[in-house]
Amino acid sequence: MKPIRFLHISDTHLGPDKYFIQHKVNTYEAFSQFLKAVKTLPFTPDFIVHTGDITADCYEEGYRLVASMIQDLKIPMYFVTGNHDTSKLIKSYLPMRHIQVLSEKLNCYRFSFGDNHFLTVDGRGHDEIDPHGVINTEQMDILKKELKAGKMLTLFIHFSPIPYDSTWFDQNMLLTNGQEFHELLVAHKRQIRGVFFGHIHRSTQIFQDGILYSGVGSTSIQFIVHPWQKMPIFESIGYGYFNIVTLEKNRITIKESSFGNGQEIFIQTK
């Protein structure tokens, strides 16, 4: 099986214009620097996946900005719905190539590279549970059907389904039915290559019950997530992050990469 190499990014948090600042960071400039970094790579990724929070607050103009920024990108790019996104706007402004739509309403679809199958899960719930996520019955049924068909799957979602060993994160940011989701995957763990998520703004790998969960840092702003931490702390160290993921027949390699995003250094307690 030919190796598949893709870039995993998340939480770009673009605003309504190029001058938008969030936690002292110009998120447009940070994403611009990521795109420049992609062009300097000594290889061409098969695709880029963005695991959500494309905009900072469902800004329609933010989706237009992203669309204009990637229009000359020759690498396929796929988008997942975050808690700061709406699936309708993603579908309107960021159409994705060669996908099989699995839900007309939600941003749930499948795409393939060779023998590798990838499936996105839309965990955006009602505003009342934000920043938690939830996987609705329709998508659980879709996932069960895909697994029943015997497919080997790599999954992309915005929210972590399992605890993160950080008090504030575990209390406020997980999927509300993450345990049910995790148990379904465990029952089919020979078919699950990995689950890649965002939301945490920090590169993280968790291996639980035979399932690999992999989070990625933000292109702009990072969280500090110590054990027993009871409130969010934002950190900018002048760098953005993305992960390089290589899928081989019997092996997965995840490498964190950084790039200078032109921001000042600060630590801020919310």
Give the separation between CA 110 and CA 114, rounded to whole angstroms. 13
- pTM value is 0.96
- Write down the pLDDT at residue 269: 60
- Write down the pLDDT at residue 264: 60
- Write down the pLDDT at residue 238: 84
Q: Are 267 and 233 in contact (CB under 8 A)?
A: yes
Split the chain (270 residues) into runs of 10 and give each run's mean pLDDT.
93 97 92 96 97 96 97 96 97 95 96 92 96 98 96 96 94 97 97 97 96 97 92 86 96 96 63
- Write down the pLDDT at residue 136: 97
Q: Are 216 and 242 in contact (CB under 8 A)?
A: yes
Domain parsing of the chain, residue ranges: 4-269
Structure tokens at 118: 């990838």
Structure tokens at 153: 């799957």
- Write down the pLDDT at residue 237: 76
Measured CA angle at 12 (ends 262, 80), to 5 deg = 155
Q: Are 43 and 257 in contact (CB under 8 A)?
A: no
Q: Are 157 and 121 in contact (CB under 8 A)?
A: yes
3-state secondary structure (DSSP) of residue 69:
helix
Instruction: Give the CATH number of domain 4-269.
Output: 3.60.21.10
Closest CA to 263 of 221, 205, 209, 226: 221
Q: Are 256 and 217 in contact (CB under 8 A)?
A: yes
